[in-house]
Structure 1
Amino acid sequence: MLLRAHQSIGRTGRRMPFRRLMSRLLSGLFCLILLVASMAVTPAVARNASLLIDATDGRVLQSRDANALWYPASLTKMMTAFMVFQAIEAGKVDWQTKLKVSANAAGQSPTKFGLKAGQTVTVEQALKAMLVVSGNDAAVALAEALGGSEAAFAQMMTATARSIGMERSVFRNASGLPDDGQVTTARDMAVLAMRIISHFPQHYHLFNLRSVTIAGRTQGTVNGILSSYPGADGMKTGFTCGSGYNLVASAERDGRRLIGVVLGGRNRGERAALMTQLLNAGFANKGSGSQSLKDLAIQVSAAEQGPPPVALNGGDCSVASREEGGTITSAARLSGWGVVFGAFPKRNQAEALVEKMRKDLAGTIGKSRPAIIEKTWEGVSRYSALLVGLEQADAGKACKKVWAEKGYCLALSPAVLTNPNAEWR
């Protein structure tokens, strides 16, 4: 059929010239192509990243944005520990080498063990405080001892990371405290975990310790996956508002060991749930992945090229929850000696009592943290009101004062406080 120049008719009823019609159609098509292209190349910011590997051969079982840059938070301490293991192997230090805690180390932001400026600790004590409690003070003490300064040590960390195949990780400090230049990936953390397990199996048990005692002060682990997941026996947690809730975990069942990495959980519960899902899926699937960690390193997608996302705003990252002394609501974060004043059906009742006891005991005990922990007895949930992070002597003093005023108080040792099966209220 022969097309005529005035064949098309517009909405007004008048015919539109053919050339003008084609021009508009082509213009619209061009805009559509540009839109689709821009959508294809715009990196998508993942809500979290994860990776699951077989620890024996490094085969990838599950992967989600494993090469995306992320803030490591306290997963950094795994790299610091690796550096310590290497230094011990090289004979530069040994477990009983004495470290003098500097004012800089002692003054680190929480989380910390509570080391004092001028205090002397051994390499072993500092390493345990760093891994069990996630002590930033202990991490910096180790860094200064091995590198001369934390900055110099961080450069050593980055160089070592690159040498073992951590392709995208950069370290600026030894603890994982926020620094825009300190980044890693789920893949890199899996590489590090696998290297620790394979090269330093004699030290791996340090990642499974449930408590550490220094100078008579005992604190429990912050790693809840060790008690919540059957077969889990080590690795590290991490959290900053930039990173979200991170976790590297290793578990063994029937002679098969897996390593899981979760970056960017919205809260501790989601972090644990994501890791549980990863590990369960891995143990349920007896097959081996077809891709290796080395293969994964060269497959950085467009979506993984961007800067690390800021994972959390509000909630756990509100100003109040970041302040030292904020209320602990997870049993996995309890540490030191604790005292419990009762359990209540409503959370606000427990909160009111804790606040009252903090004021009443202000002149009797040293530093403490309030904690409201939900526990279930015989199918009924109740909220326990506690003060934790105490020295043993202060726990005793607190209860003596409460008893003198005819109140209820029970002192809890770190072993009881961190035992998920212990019954206290």
Structure 2
Amino acid sequence: MSPAYRVRLGTVVVVLFSFLALLAVKPAHANPRYAAIVVDAESGDVLHAANADATRYPASLTKMMTLYLVFEALEDGGLALDQPLPVSSYAASKPASKLYLKAGSTIPVEKAIQALVIKSANDVAVVVAEALGGSEEHFATMMTRKAQELGMSRTTFRNPHGLPDARQVTTARDMAILSLRVMKDFPQHYHYFSRTRFHWNGKTITGHNRLLDNYPGADGLKTGFIRASGFNVATSAVRNGRRVLSVVMGGFTAASRDAHMADLLDRGYVRLALQQRGDWIAKADLSGERMALPEPLPATPPATQLTLAETIPSWSQSLATGRTEASALLAEPDTEMGSADDPIRELLARNDPASPGGAWAVQVGAFSDVDQARSLAARAADSLASQLNDVRVAIAEAQGAPRVFRARLVDLQESDARTACQSLRQQGMDCLVVAHN
């Protein structure tokens, strides 16, 4: 082999390894747009938060603030539902999604509300902005001022529709605050957010929010998308008389975003159910923080009744910084959630490094009472007797106060642990797979 050939070969190897190194680190930055928050609307408890205070683009979630100011004007007498709003040539020129209004025409306020919620019409957003603020720019200033009044400290609005503007930013937490305030401050108008279609000029206009049809108990609020933001959604749902609100930002697709939102809501209800049942360590302030709710939210409609066993999937990620061991199972990362066909779930999963054989465990709970921990672990082991031979139960006291005892099935291969946890979930028992030392 000539020296020149060896040099060329060495260069190829270096380039190849550099390329592989780039591939290896890419998953850590797989979705820089992702953020989420889940809130118990009754108490303000934050049940889950991921990048909740990171700067994001709101896209059409912006229109919730536009609607907030419309509702405020209705209550103040500045607008009436049947009042016609004039359409300017500037408003008519806005890109889709739009109602394709003609310059010089009008649209009644109530139809404008429906078009903003259901169609997410950008031309209608400008019509409203010009009616209430005189201009899009001044209305955006009004929006930002209102955001600050509501406690949305990290939000700046530059337009009423959410079309791309690098200066128009928010956070998942701020969008959750806005969603809660829309429900609390204008319960008489919240019903618009549950609509999935309306009629305009002899046509039936359908919406983008599939969760309203597909998720039991969902009754609002809003979707959004621009390329810079990814797929966003704010969703409120009611089950068993309890309302949970969640915001997801940065979805790769509308379908994966909706699936992830449904998963987060399910897990939020599981946390509430376990808390009410009283045998898990589930303090009211699960993530160590609470959003201010100065007054109760409006009465909720009859809820879809689901038993604990029907809503028992385990939590998707450990809670926000500041959690304590009193959060029980929530204090552990869930290594079961990774999925190659759902990049959001894969991003959320926090997989531990590969451990030697037999170094995995299935955690089935964490309790203040050691006997309760031992009892549940034994019950889980009994239910798995047909598929696991000589499974060992371990009750370990976590460090710190208050005293918490983890109930685990230990000394398992990773594949056996995952299979066992799936089997337990099918039997209605919450669990997660963890590396066990």
Instruction: State TM-score, norm by structure 1.
Output: 0.58
Matches within 5 A, 1:26-425: 46-286=32-272, 287=275, 288-290=284-286, 291-293=289-291
Q: Tell me by how many angstroms 1:47 deviates.
A: 4.5
Q: Secondary structure at the match of 2:52?
A: coil
Cα–Cα, structure 1 residues 192 and 60, in superposed 2: closer, same or farther, change >3 Å?
same
| Counterparts of 1:46 and 1:215, CA distance in 2 | 41
Cα–Cα, structure 1 residues 300 and 118, in superposed 2: closer, same or farther, change >3 Å?
farther
Runs (4 or more) in structure 1 with deviation over 2 Å come to 43-47, 287-290
Q: Tell me by how many angstroms 1:106 deviates.
A: 1.1
| Counterparts of 2:182 and 2:292, CA distance in 1 | 17
Q: Tell me by how many angstroms 1:44 deviates.
A: 11
Cα–Cα, structure 1 residues 44 and 73, in superposed 2: closer, same or farther, change >3 Å?
same
2:416 aligned residue: none
Q: Percent identity at matched positions?
A: 47
Cα–Cα, structure 1 residues 244 and 214, in superposed 2: closer, same or farther, change >3 Å?
same
Letter in 2 for 1:141: V
Letter in 2 for 1:66: A
Q: Tell me by how many angstroms 1:289 deviates.
A: 3.1
| Counterparts of 2:107 and 2:253, CA distance in 1 | 33
| Counterparts of 1:58 and 1:239, CA distance in 2 | 27
| Counterparts of 1:173 and 1:148, CA distance in 2 | 13
| Counterparts of 2:285 and 2:211, CA distance in 1 | 25
CA-to-aligned-CA distance 1:326-376 (integer Å, 9 cap, x gap): xxxxxxxxxxxxxxxxxxxxxxxxxxxxxxxxxxxxxxxxxxxxxxxxxxx
Q: Secondary structure at the match of 1:141?
A: helix
Cα–Cα, structure 1 residues 74 and 89, in superposed 2: closer, same or farther, change >3 Å?
same
CA-to-aligned-CA distance 1:357-410 (integer Å, 9 cap, x gap): xxxxxxxxxxxxxxxxxxxxxxxxxxxxxxxxxxxxxxxxxxxxxxxxxxxxxx
Q: Secondary structure at the match of 1:292?
A: coil
2:309 aligned residue: none
Q: Secondary structure at the match of 2:189?
A: helix
The answer as to whether partners of 1:167 and 1:188 remain within 8 angstroms in 2 is: yes
Q: Tell me by how many angstroms 1:118 deviates.
A: 1.2
Q: Secondary structure at the match of 1:202?
A: coil
The answer as to whether partners of 2:57 and 2:229 remain within 8 angstroms in 1 is: yes
CA-to-aligned-CA distance 1:123-154 (integer Å, 9 cap, x gap): 11111111111100111101110000011000
The answer as to whether partners of 1:46 and 1:65 remain within 8 angstroms in 2 is: no
| Counterparts of 2:30 and 2:173, CA distance in 1 | 18
Q: Tell me by how many angstroms 1:45 deviates.
A: 7.5
| Counterparts of 2:146 and 2:30, CA distance in 1 | 30
CA-to-aligned-CA distance 1:299-328 (integer Å, 9 cap, x gap): 999xxxxxxxxxxxxxxxxxxxxxxxxxxx
| Counterparts of 1:300 and 1:105, CA distance in 2 | 44
| Counterparts of 1:146 and 1:285, CA distance in 2 | 42
1:9 aligned residue: none
CA-to-aligned-CA distance 1:199-249 (integer Å, 9 cap, x gap): 111111101112111222221111111111111111000000100000000
Q: Secondary structure at the match of 2:178?
A: helix
| Counterparts of 1:99 and 1:265, CA distance in 2 | 34
Number of matched pairs = 256
Q: Secondary structure at the match of 1:81?
A: helix
Letter in 2 for 1:235: L
The answer as to whether partners of 1:50 and 1:262 remain within 8 angstroms in 2 is: yes
Letter in 1 for 2:291: L
Q: Tell me by how many angstroms 1:182 deviates.
A: 0.2
Q: Tell me by how many angstroms 1:73 deviates.
A: 0.3
The answer as to whether partners of 1:77 and 1:174 remain within 8 angstroms in 2 is: yes
The answer as to whether partners of 1:187 and 1:293 remain within 8 angstroms in 2 is: no
The answer as to whether partners of 1:51 and 1:63 remain within 8 angstroms in 2 is: yes
CA-to-aligned-CA distance 1:269-317 (integer Å, 9 cap, x gap): 110111011100011112333421259xxx999xxxxxxxxxxxxxxxx
Cα–Cα, structure 1 residues 67 and 121, in superposed 2: closer, same or farther, change >3 Å?
same
